[in-house]
Structure 1
Amino acid sequence: MAWVSLILAGLCEMFGVAMINKLHKDRNWQSLTLLFIGFGASFLFLAYAMQTLPMGTAYAIWTGIGASGGAIIGMLLYGESKDWRRIVFIAMVLCAAVGLKLVS
C-alpha cells in the first residue's frame, strides 16, 4: 500500500505543479484552492508512504514523478518544447529513481 500511496503522492505533485501554472495565468481563488489541495494531498500521501519506505527512496521517487510529470504536462498541455533531448532526460530522471529503488 505504501507504493500506491507514493505514486498517488507523485500524481498529486504533478497536479499541484499544473495548478501553479494555471494560477499564474488565471489569478483566481479556484486555482489557488486546487493548488493547495494538490500539494496538501501530495504531502499527506508521501508522509503515509514514508511510514514504510525509506526516506531517500520515497523522496527520490516522489520528486522523480513530480518533476517528470510536470515536464510532460508542460509539453502536452502548455505547448512546451517536445524536443527528443527533453524526453531522453525525463527518461533518465525516471530511470534514476527506479535504479535507486533497485539498489536499496
Structure 2
Amino acid sequence: MMSSLVNLVLFAALVITSLCVLAMYRKLKRFDASQAEYKRLFQEASVALGTAGDAVRAFGTEGKEVADALGARIDEAREVLAQLAVATQSARHLQGTSASKTL
C-alpha cells in the first residue's frame, strides 16, 4: 500500500514535470519565432539605414555640385552686370555728347 502511494506521488510529479517541460518547450518555440522575426526586422532596418546613409552622402555631393554651379553662374552674372554697367555708362556719355552737339 505504501509503495502504491509513493508510486502515485511519483507519477503526479512526473505528470507535473512533463507539463512544465511542455510549457517551457512552447515558450522556447515562441521565443525562437520571435527571435527570427527580430533578426529579420533588424536586417531590414540595417538595409534601410544603409540606403539612408547613401542618400545623405549623395545629397551632400550633389548639393556641393549645385552650389559650385550656382557660384559659377553668379560670377558670370556679375561679369555681365559689369559689362552692362559699362555699356550703359558709355551710352549715356554718347547720348550726352550728341545732345550737346545738337544745341
**TM-score (normalizing by structure 1):** 0.25
Q: Give the structure with higher Rg (CA).
A: 2
> Higher relative CO (CA 8 A, sep ≥ 6), structure 1 or 2?
1
